[in-house]
Amino acid sequence: MKLLDDLKAMGLVSQRPLIRRDIEVEYYPPKPVEEWANPEIEEREDELAKATVTVYLKKYRVGDIVAMSQIEPEEGRVYFAIHRSVCDESGELLFPTLQDAKMIGDELLYPIVSAISDLNGTKKKS
């Protein structure tokens, strides 16, 4: 595969390495199920908790950008970015479908989107 090696050496073909990010989150932990008034409706503790969540991100590829541009903003471009970028330590998508990504809690949504934006250089300048 000399051609492929040459293209890699020229920087024209690259792997998408995993980039580790430790994300600080603040959230209200769920109460134990047996403490919920209605077993169908999750209840949360009153005290705020803090944690560090380690995720692995991959930079966008051209195909990701094209696909994202075809999604209407109200349909969830941010969730598409999460779906295509956030991985576990082995490189597998943490949220294999767009629907999986849409289940992320608000407490984690902004910090993850911010980390993805930083990585891809898409964060708006203040």
Q: Domain residue spans in the chain?
A: 16-120
Alpha carbons 24 and 51: distance in angstroms, whole number: 6
What CATH code is assigned to 16-120?
3.30.2220
When pLDDT is averaged across residues 60-89 and rounded to a whole number, the result is 86
Of 89 and 4, the structure prediction assigns the larger pLDDT to: 89
Cβ count near 86 (within 10 Å): 20
What burial class does residue 126 get, using C-beta atoms within 10 Å of its C-beta: 0-12 exposed, 13-18 middle, 19+ buried?
exposed
Residue 86, H or E segment: strand 86-87
Please tell me whether the overall predicted TM-score, pTM, comes out greater than 0.75 for this model.
yes
Asked if residues 84 and 25 have their Cβ atoms less than 8 Å apart, the reply is no
